[in-house]
């Protein structure tokens, strides 16, 4: 008879006791037996979050062998893939291998279903048996391994109308466009930093859809290539290349585009640190800054806003919001141009 586990997975925490799996230093990744409220997944692909993969790749000097060693070491020490330097994880694609007895008939899954987990790898018990391929350009790693989804864990079935890797890439950042849909309203001026990346392009589409003809969407990209790509998509009223770690220079550009009024909403999607002040200075005092980036420092954001006398409302980018998977996959169904780019880049 299977043992009963805690809904949030605390039964897997080894140390320190009393904490949830995400902040835990080590969790139990033994897959030989599962608890009655767990789902065992045969893992195919890890989609490492952008901030984490960028950090690991830099530490490995881009060497795939070294990247694999770092990843294996992280999982060996913690029982999960939580980057010790960024604190972030990612998500995975796999096949349901076994469903705990207490969950059978109570969830819309059956053994053999292909799913993407929508909870972070930083809390997911994971065992990596072999790293088979590293696709550094899209932050994906193919493995042989197993993972556990807790009773409270959320997931999305891979849809039949799009390739697995395409769905995985979009679902990895599903929280960003869904939160954008909730935050943006007709007439808003929205600045999206990191607009040429995966989450950025989805946010630009959703922002323009929500602000309508009376609003503005401004996209800030890192490279000329991503700037040209975003311009071609036509989601933004203005697109420019810039350095997100240079707050004053960026503020001056946004001031020009907004006639000094600045953005009502700024959405930060970058994968590098030290962009907090750029987001804050580009947003009007009564505005909102949404930090989706896992490279964000709460301390820098909070004390930085105080230091410049800014009364912006700052929102931590929760990777989950109700309906986020459906909203994000629907974007790819609605917009063929964006689907084509995602297919080319990520699938």
The domain ranges of the chain are: 10-158, 175-346
pLDDT score recorded for residue 245: 97
Q: Is the pLDDT of residue 141 over 90?
A: yes
Of 239, 235, 233, the closest CA to residue 219 belongs to 239
The CATH number for 175-346, chosen from 3.40.50.620, 3.40.30.10, 3.40.50.720, 3.40.50.300, is 3.40.50.720
Whether 176 contacts 267, CB under 8 Å: yes
pLDDT score recorded for residue 322: 86
Q: Is the pLDDT of residue 218 over 80?
A: yes
Please write the tens of the pLDDT for every residue from 143-156.
999 999 999 999 99
Angle between helices 164-172 and 336-346 (to 10 degrees): 100
**Interval 2-16 mean pLDDT:** 96
pLDDT score recorded for residue 346: 82
Burial 179-188 (b: 16+ CB within 10 A, else e): bbbbbbeeeb
Instruction: Enter the pTM of the model.
Output: 0.86
Burial group, residue 223, by CB count within 10 angstroms (0-12, 13-18, 19+) = exposed
Angle between helices 164-172 and 198-211 (to 10 degrees): 70
Could you give the CA distance from residue 39 to residue 254 in angstroms, rounded to a whole number? Answer: 47
Q: Is 15 helix (H, G, I), strand (E, B) or coil?
A: strand
Residue 191: phi and psi, rounded to 5, are: -105, 130
pLDDT score recorded for residue 320: 83
pLDDT score recorded for residue 70: 98
Could you give the CA distance from residue 145 to residue 130 in angstroms, rounded to a whole number? Answer: 7
């Amino acid at each position: 008879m299977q043992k009963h586990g805690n809904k949030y997975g605390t039964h897997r925490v080894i140390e320190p006791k009393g904490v949830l799996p995400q902040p835990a230093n080590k969790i139990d990744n033994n897959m030989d037996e599962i608890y009655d409220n767990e789902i065992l997944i045969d893992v195919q692909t890890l989609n490492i979050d952008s901030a984490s993969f960028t950090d690991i790749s830099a530490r490995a000097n881009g060497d795939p062998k070294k990247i694999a060693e770092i990843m294996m070491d992280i999982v060996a020490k913690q029982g999960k893939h939580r980057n010790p330097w960024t604190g972030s994880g990612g998500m995975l694609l796999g096949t349901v291998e076994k469903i705990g007895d207490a969950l059978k008939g109570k969830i819309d899954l059956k053994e053999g279903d292909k799913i993407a987990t929508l909870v972070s790898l930083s809390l997911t018990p994971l065992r990596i048996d072999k790293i088979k391929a590293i696709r550094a350009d899209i932050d994906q790693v193919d493995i042989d391994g197993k993972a556990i989804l807790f009773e409270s864990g959320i997931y999305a079935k891979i849809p039949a109308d799009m390739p697995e890797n395409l769905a995985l890439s979009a679902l990895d950042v599903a929280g960003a466009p869904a939160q954008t849909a909730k935050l943006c309203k007709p007439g808003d001026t929205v600045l999206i930093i990191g607009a040429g990346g995966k989450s950025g392009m989805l946010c630009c589409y959703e922002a323009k859809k929500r602000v309508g003809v009376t609003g503005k969407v401004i996209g800030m990209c890192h490279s000329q290539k991503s700037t040209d790509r975003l311009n071609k998509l036509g989601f933004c009223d203005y697109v420019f290349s810039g350095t997100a770690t240079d707050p004053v220079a960026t503020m001056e550009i946004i001031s020009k585009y907004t006639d000094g009024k600045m953005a009502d909403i700024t959405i930060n999607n970058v994968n590098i640190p030290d962009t907090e002040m750029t987001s804050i200075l580009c947003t009007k005092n009564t505005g909102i800054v949404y930090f989706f980036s896992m490279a964000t420092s709460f301390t820098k954001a909070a004390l930085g806003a105080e230091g410049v006398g800014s009364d912006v409302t700052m929102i931590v980018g929760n990777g989950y919001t109700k309906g986020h998977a459906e909203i994000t996959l629907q974007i790819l169904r609605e917009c063929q141009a964006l689907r084509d780019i995602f297919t080319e880049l990520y699938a």
